[in-house]
Chain A
Amino acid sequence: MLYILSQLGFSFIAAAGFGVLFNAPRRALIHCGTVGMIGWIFYIVLADAGVDPVVASFVGAFMVALVGHIMAKRFRMPMIIFSVAGIIPLVPGGLAYNTMRQIAENDYLAAIPLAAKAFMISGAIAMGLVFAEVIMQVVMNIIKRATNNVKREVS
């Protein structure tokens, strides 16, 4: 329990801190933190449960983009403000670091699988972002059509 709470708290701080580094609008900082927290908690719970990190990253990125889109619509700001701080915890920094370290120690054979994994995770994050965007578009279209129909019936 304490573990989950600390993960929640620190991912919030990390994402909000990135909001400061990227100079996000001041009133959006808390939302940045929230988006980052949601994405990270999905990732870490799945990864701890033994799910492949590629799948966990996909789910995390999907949640980040979904919540980011909803907030962007709600607060009328570009979606990138909310999503970018949330994506960064998912970026395979540790893997990339280990790859570089193996290369620096001339152990190229150990570096290749790490690099491949890092590449797969980056791809999964990208897929998560795009999937969320497509789903949001479809949902928005359906809502728009529904409200138009209602208006037509009323008039």
Chain B
Amino acid sequence: MTERETEKILEVCLLAGRIMMEGGAETYRVEDTMTRIAASYGITETHSFVTPTGIIVSLQGDNPTRLVRINSRTTDLEKVAQVNQISRKIAAGQLNVQAAHQSLIKLEESHLLFPISYQILAAAFVSGSFLIMFKGVWTDFLPAMIAGGLGYSGLLLIQHYTRVKFFAEFFASLIIGLVSLAMVTFGFGLELDKIIIGSVMPLVPGLLITNAVRDLMVGHFVSGLSKGAEALFTAFAIGAGVAVVFL
């Protein structure tokens, strides 16, 4: 294998790993995928070190070790699934290095998110559903939907302008607290606690919590702890935003 070919394989591995990590995949899945891709192209010995903020990969022999930085982490399971598909195709020998690289670049640039209106609607329905699941009264269904929808719109809006995640989460839960309080004071809702709990649920860092625990359990302590810290910080931001309403 020439040096140029290995270089290209390394690039494909790193790109696949980065897209998966940015989409919210588990650490062990990222490592597994990169190792499999390298193996399907005939490189049996791969070492990778994956953390939520960066990926280091080293292929066998004299090739240089490469590092890629991960700056933004969102939750985009569609991209994780698509990289998975591509890696399956590679393993089946249907894609050569060049084609794999092309399709990964295309995937990275594509925008697969649901439209914003769908997301807000989903958040509103999630909030209402949780109100009923947590044994709230039926008349609070609509108030919870409104508070949850407004809170999530606030999150998207502030995230678009500031790029500081925790700031956006703080303000989103502040909006939820204020809207719920206003609705209860004006007699539109009944149980303030239940409405707030229901509408805050779309903000809860559920993916981070589950991923952090899974990473810790399989022995990826660095990424487990850092994801756990991120989750804890997010939960704190949400709690602080709601707490301001009670002060």
- A-side residues, CB < 8 A to B, are 6-7, 10-11, 13-14, 17-25, 28, 40, 44, 76-78, 80-81, 83-84, 87-89, 91, 93-94, 96-101, 103-105, 122, 125-126, 129-130
Identify A23's interface contact among B75, B123, B132, B133, CB under 8 A.
B75
B112 at the interface (CB under 8 A from A): yes
Mark interface residues in B81-93 (1 if CB within 8 Å of A CB, else 0): 1001000100000
A101 to B197, CA, bound (A): 11
Determine whether the beta carbon of A80 is less than 8 Å from that of B29: yes
Determine whether the beta carbon of B122 is less than 8 Å from that of A80: no
Determine whether the beta carbon of B129 is less than 8 Å from that of A91: no
Minimum Cβ distance to chain B for residue A87 (Å)? 5
A23-B75, A97-B196 in contact; A91/B119 too (CB < 8 A)?
Answer: no
Determine whether the beta carbon of B26 is less than 8 Å from that of A80: yes
B161 at the interface (CB under 8 A from A): no
With a cutoff of 8 Å between Cβ atoms, the chain A residues found around residue B123 in the complex are: 17, 21
Pairs across A and B, CB under 8 Å, 30 listed: A7-B133, A10-B130, A13-B129, A14-B125, A14-B133, A17-B123, A18-B206, A20-B118, A21-B119, A22-B76, A22-B207, A23-B79, A25-B77, A25-B78, A40-B133, A77-B84, A80-B25, A80-B26, A84-B206, A84-B210, A89-B130, A91-B206, A91-B209, A96-B235, A97-B200, A103-B239, A104-B242, A105-B246, A129-B210, A129-B213
| Chain B residue nearest in CB terms to A43 | B133
With a cutoff of 8 Å between Cβ atoms, the chain A residues found around residue B196 in the complex are: 97
Our count of residue pairs bridging A and B at CB distance below 8 angstroms stands at 145
A14 to B136, CA, bound (A): 15
Determine whether the beta carbon of A88 is less than 8 Å from that of B206: yes
- B-side residues, CB < 8 A to A, are 24-26, 29, 75-81, 84, 88, 112-114, 118-119, 122-123, 125-126, 128-130, 132-134, 193, 196-197, 200-202, 204, 206-207, 209-211, 213-214, 217, 235, 239-240, 242-243, 246-247
With a cutoff of 8 Å between Cβ atoms, the chain B residues found around residue A78 in the complex are: 25, 29, 77, 80-81, 84
A84 to B133, CA, bound (A): 18
Given A77-B84, A100-B240, 13 extra CB contacts under 8 A:
A13-B125, A19-B77, A23-B113, A78-B81, A80-B211, A83-B210, A87-B206, A93-B130, A93-B197, A93-B204, A101-B246, A122-B213, A125-B210
